[in-house]
Each structure stands twice: as structure tokens, then as C-alpha cells.
Structure 1
Amino acid sequence: MAENSTIPKLKDEALLNSFKTQLNDNVQLILLNFEELLRMVSIGTRGQIPDATQQEMHALEMQLRSGNLIRAAEALMKLVNDIKEYHIIYDSLSIEEEMNRYSELQRDKQVEYDRKISEIVKDLDDHLTELEEEYYEFSSYY
């Protein structure tokens, strides 16, 4: 039984480590592409390539870098969604604890209400017994 309980924990740890790895990879990719975009925007020196060709190369590289940046951002958003789903699906332990706490609270209330009802029944029984005795006392005079 203990072996079965450790397997889900190992799977959870592996999944969480996978989430951490994906997070680090995507953030590094965003950072790298953003730095390269900033580097291309800075004023460059004249080289051996004609200006028109150089500008076209920069434009294509900027499109490529911005595409990579968007792809990494979308992967981060998917990762956040996956983490939310994981939390919703596998957070049954806290839900179960909350249900047990609520059930215990309801059992306590039930015991208290049963006790109060028993007291009321006892009081009513006493009063009815007194009234019955009074009734028979007064009826014996007539």
C-alpha cells in the first residue's frame, strides 16, 4: 500500500520538475530573443554588405526573433494553463479535507440538536404529567 502511494508522488514530482524546466526554457528563450532584437535595433556600423541588403537581413531576422518570442510567450501561457488544470484536478486532498471538516461540523450540530430535542421532550413530558395530574385532581371533585 505504501508503494502505491509513493508512485503518484514520484509522478507529481516529475511533472512539477517538467513544468519548472519548461518555464526556465521559455523564459530563457524570451530573454535571448528580446536581447537580440534590442541588439539589432541599435545603430550599427557599415560593413561590406550594401545597406539595402543589410536592412532586409535585419528585417528578416527581426521577424524571426519576434516570431520566436511570441512562440515562447504562447508556450508560457499554455504552461500556466497546464499548471492551473493540474492544480484543479489533483488538489482533491484539500477538497476532501474540507468535506471532512464540513461533515464533522454537521455531525456536531446534529448531536447538539438531538440533545436539545431530548431536553425539550423531557420538559414537555414533565409538564404534561403535571397537567394530567391536575386534570385528574380537579375532575375527581366534580
Structure 2
Amino acid sequence: MTENSSVPKRKDDALLNSFKTQLKDDVQSILLNFEELLRMVSVRTKGQITDWTQQEMHALEMQVRAGNLLRAGEALIKLVNDIKEYQIIYDFSAIEEEMKRHSELLSVKQVEYDAKISDIVKDLADELTEFEEEYYGNSSGYY
């Protein structure tokens, strides 16, 4: 029976390791391509090829690097989505506990805010009563 319960745990661990590996690879790809784009911005030195050819090569390389950055970014977004789906599908109890805790916290806040609002209403009513008495106590109604 312990063997049956360890199989899902190993599967979960393998999936989480896969997520970690993919995360490291995508972040490394973004970093590498960004560094290469920054290197291309540095000052050029005269070489054997013409400036026009050099510019075309840099433009093409920048397009490739930008495409790689975009691809790695999209892969990270997909990874985040996969992790969310995994969390939603396989972690109902934690979600339920979190929702219950959050609901209790909001209920406590609601009681606190209701008490504050009732205090404010009472203070406003008292002030309004004082202003009415002062207004009607004055013979002309104006100061």
C-alpha cells in the first residue's frame, strides 16, 4: 500500500523537477540572448567586411535574438499556465483551506468595518443634531 502512495509522489516530484528544469532553461535562454543583443550595441571596429554588410548581419542577428527572447518568454508564460493548471487540478484541499481562511479573514474585516461605519453614523447623527439645535436656536437662522 505504501508503494501505491509513493508512485503519485514520485510522479509529482518528476513533474516538479521538469518544471524547474524548463524554468532554468527558459531564463538562461532569455539571459543569453539579452546579453548577446547588448554586445551587438557596442562600438564596432573596422574589419574585412563593409559597413553595409556588417549592419545587415547585425540586423539579422538582432532579429534572431529577439525571436529567441520572445520564444523563451512565451515558454515561461506557458510554464506558469501549466503550473497553475497543475495546482488547480491536484491541490483542491489547499485551495479549499485557503478560501476558507480568506473567507474568515474577510468576515472579521466586515464586522470591523460595520462597527466603524456604525460609529461614524452615530457621530454624524450627534453632530447633525448639534448643528440643527444651533441653527434653530439662532433667531434668524443665519450667522
TM range (shorter): 0.5 to 0.7
1:44 is displaced (CA, Å) by: 1.2
CA distance in structure 1 between the partners assigned to 2:23 and 2:88 by the alignment: 19
Superposed, 1:1-142 pairs within 5 Å as 1-94=1-94, 98=97
Structure 2: which amino acid aligns with 1:5?
S
Structure 1: which amino acid aligns with 2:21?
T
Bigger helix share = 1
Structure 1: any 5+ residue segments left out of the alignment? 102-142
How many percent of aligned residue pairs carry the same amino acid?
A: 77
1:94 is displaced (CA, Å) by: 2.8
Bigger radius of gyration, 1 or 2?
1
How high is the TM-score relative to the length of structure 2?
A: 0.65
Count of matched residue positions in the alignment of Structure 1 and Structure 2: 98
Structure 2: any 5+ residue segments left out of the alignment? 101-143
Return structure 1 stretches of 4+ with deviation > 6 angstroms: none
CA distance in structure 1 between the partners assigned to 2:7 and 2:54 by the alignment: 56
Q: What is the alpha-carbon root mean square deviation over aligned residues?
A: 1.5
